[in-house]
Amino acid sequence: MKKILALLLCGLLLQGCGSKETAAVKDPEPTRTETPAPTKTETPAPAATEEPEQEEISVSLPEQELTADYTTAEGIALPPGSHIAVVVKETGSGFWKAVKAGMELAVADLNEELGYKGKDKVKLTFEGPADASEIEAQINIIDAVLAENPAALCLSAIDRGSCQAQLETAAENGIPVILMDGNARGNESNTICSTDHYAVGQEAASHLAAALQDTGKAAIVAHQPQTESCEERERGFRTEIAENHPEITVLPESVYDDGEESVSAKVKTLLAENPDLTGIFCTNEETAEVVLAELKKDSSRTVSVVTVDAGSEITKAIRDGRDIGSVCQNPYGIGYASVIAAARGAADLPVDPYINPGYQWIDASNLDAPENQKYLYE
């Protein structure tokens, strides 16, 4: 069931930059969508096929020291028909669909604030490869998007070292770039709207250590090794275990989803070669789903699993007790704040160099808390 998003405005000009928010198949063709988000005042006429009213999801950011409010479209003047382009790592995952939903809400708010209708509306395009292993396909998409000379670009690079030339092209043409989900090499002046991935790894390690009672043997099953999110989550996890939970042994080699062999096959090998394994940290939702599926096949094994992000499969695993919990990013907040930052850049307004969308630890004890629903998605 699709979710109707509603914006909860929150003040951001407070201290605590970098603090987390707490209370805490494959289709080789790239995907492009180009549909201006409907304004929040539009109400579709009732029809026999009309979907039932859906749950509202809030969009907010944690308290931090910023010069602008990235939860509102107020005070941003863009020319009619402005184009905000988005290129992500993959278009099919639940996480990026949630980010897109946040972006569409931001564009709807911009159009409502500016009074734009029809062809005058600010336009959002959302593109990316079908799979996050397709680095070259993503580079080609970025090149094509830049050739259209958008007002701004929101980018999440698969390979942090692969898009220096594209960042240079954007800078030469005065196109502001908002880097989402991590930095990219060659970036010197663009805004970053990204979770503190190192802190995510630390948080995951702390909770896994508690589940293991500070002893045992753990492994890391990770997504693309060339992305900053993967590197930093792994580094944070290993550092936290080494410094604060030294009785836990972490296997020195991580299992990566690098496209060379199926993750399922790699996880089967990991489990077979380590019968004494007691814990696994999965650095993203896709790797977590594979690990949980493999463990479900062998009920005789007891392995504690900690994950990152929570779509429907992960929330079910948490509810069933197969996943002790997940460090959940704020996808709607990432999407909304990135578009507002992009619009501010296109309007020659000040934009902060770093926007922290925050994260939240979610387990069975707080899974259903109303304030945590913005971290979950289908």
**Most confident listed range (5-14, 26-35, 154-163, 364-373):** 364-373
262 Cβ partners below 8 Å, 6+ apart? none
Segment 255-281, tens digit of pLDDT: 998 777 889 999 999 999 999 999 999
- 342 and 273 co-located in one domain: no
Report, as an integer, the average pLDDT of 203-230: 94
- 163 and 308 co-located in one domain: no
- 276 and 334 co-located in one domain: no
133 versus 242: the higher-pLDDT residue is 242
- 324 and 344 co-located in one domain: no
124 pLDDT higher than 70? yes
- 250 and 285 co-located in one domain: yes
373 pLDDT higher than 90? yes
- 120 and 225 co-located in one domain: no
284: in domain: yes
- 188 and 205 co-located in one domain: no
Q: What is the mean pLDDT of the chain?
A: 86
- 179 and 208 co-located in one domain: no
Segment 173-212, tens digit of pLDDT: 999 999 998 887 666 678 999 999 999 999 999 999 999 9
- 120 and 218 co-located in one domain: no
- 319 and 347 co-located in one domain: no
Q: How many residues does the chain have?
A: 378
Buried b (16+ CB within 10 A) or exposed e, 315-353: bebbeeebbbbbbbbbbbbbbbbbbbbbbbbbbeeebbe
- 144 and 223 co-located in one domain: no
Number of domains in the chain: 2
Hey, what are 91's tokens? 């278009």
pTM of the model: 0.85
Segment 64-92, tens digit of pLDDT: 999 999 999 999 999 999 999 999 999 98
Range of the domain at 210: 197-328
CATH number at residue 188: 3.40.50.2300
239: in domain: yes
Amino acid (1-letter code) at residue 26: K
- Give the pLDDT confidence score for residue 6 in this predicted structure: 34
1: in domain: no
Q: Do residues 318 and 364 make contact, with C-beta atoms less than 8 angstroms apart?
A: yes
Hey, what are 13's tokens? 């000009």
| Of residues 281, 196, 277, the one with CA closest to residue 234 | 281
The CB density around residue 272, as the number of other CB atoms within 10 Å, is: 8
User: Cα(164)–Cα(342) distance, rounded to whole angstroms?
Assistant: 19
